[in-house]
Amino acid sequence: MLGRLYYKTRLRSYHYSKTIKTALHLGRLPDFLIVGTQKGGTTTLFELLRLHPAVKLPFVKESHFFSEDFHLGPHYYRSCFPMQLPFLKNKPTGESTPQYLFHQATPERVKALVPNAKIILLLRNPVRRAFSHYKHNLRKKREPLSFPEAIKAEEQRTSLSDNNLKHYSYVKRGIYLPQLKRWMEHFDRKNILILSSEDFFSDTEANWKTILSFLNLPYSPLASTKIFNKTTIDQQMDESVKEQLFTFFQPHNEALFNFLGQEYDWTK
């Protein structure tokens, strides 16, 4: 109860601060963006970076500015971040909106507004990602179908509206290569860090060092071993659907591995 009250109080304060910063043209632009993938560990990475003493992150993880709120303009976006303080060294800041990887217009929009941003991607086994996405929707009470039914209905459902595409794109989101190429059309490879979600969680310390080096941050020990936003619904994937999805994703995964010049262990 106290935790929820504290969160609501902080959230009100955050939105009030945004209103002031928007009106006065205060706030700053992010140094980095964690753009995906959804259900790939982006919340855990964001919260670990929040605990780094040399980083200053906004209270709310996801701004959705480049995918949903772009019409609100750059002053609004700046208001999502800590204020730019003159004559002081400002700590790096960033955001994490996993919708950005999948949203087609986002890379070009980001490049236009934040051309020097560092881009981080966590890519998860697309079969596991799809089922985790489905369980996330169950928890949010927005999914009336079984997982096999939802997979079968995806093409028809996602064609109906942008909102459906956002929520029910279980399979589409796991075809990573076209999404990745969109980002590489606008950002140099040296400004994009691509990690396997499985590697990130199995050897967090090594990946943590890689991330800090990429962001030009000093090393600081991991301040937490908690996995944030973990799906808690206890439901197992049907084996026949699992095999169907592994077969579907195999050529897409191979194309991705060939493009990256490395393979991830997405065989189970």
DSSP SS3 for 124? coil
- Give 103's Cβ-side CA count (13 Å radius): 24
Output the CA–CA distances (angstroms, integers) from residue 206 to 86, 118, 209, 210, in the order listed: 35, 19, 5, 6
Tell me the residue type at 102.
Answer: F
How far is 21 from 5, CA to CA, in rounded Å? 24
Domain ranges (residues) in the chain: 2-260
DSSP SS3 for 35? strand
**H, E, C per residue of 212-262:** HHHCCCCCCCCCCCCCCCCCCCCCCCCHHHHHHHHHHHHHHHHHHHHHHCC
* Percentages of the chain per state (helix, strand, coil), in multiples of 5: 50, 5, 40
Closest CA to 124 of 138, 136, 115, 114: 136
Instruction: Indicate if the pLDDT at residue 7 is higher than 50.
Output: no
pLDDT of residue 249: 98
Instruction: Indicate if the pLDDT at residue 146 is higher than 50.
Output: yes
At 89, the pLDDT band (50, 70, 90 cuts) reads: confident
pLDDT digits (tens, 9 = 90+) for 154-174: 999 999 999 999 999 999 999
Residue with the bigger pLDDT between 136 and 232: it is 136
In contact, 49 and 91? CB cutoff 8 Å: no
Q: Which residues pair with 122 in a beta bridge?
A: 195
How far is 130 from 267, CA to CA, in rounded Å? 15
How far is 125 from 174, CA to CA, in rounded Å? 8
Tell me the chain's radius of gyration from C-alpha atoms: 19
pLDDT of residue 83: 86
pLDDT digits (tens, 9 = 90+) for 193-218: 999 999 999 999 999 999 999 999 99
Tell me the residue type at 111.
Answer: K
Mean pLDDT over 247-266 rounds to 97
CATH architecture of the domain with residue range 2-260: 3-Layer(aba) Sandwich (3.40)
**H, E, C per residue of 53-93:** CCCCCCCCCCCCCCCCCHHHCHHHHHHCCCCCCCCCCCCCC
pLDDT of residue 12: 52
pLDDT of residue 229: 84
Instruction: Indicate if the pLDDT at residue 46 is higher than 60.
Output: yes
Percent of the chain residues topping a pLDDT of 90: 81
Q: Which residues pair with 32 in a beta bridge?
A: 94, 118
Question: 124 φ, ψ to 5°?
Answer: -105, 150
pLDDT of residue 17: 60
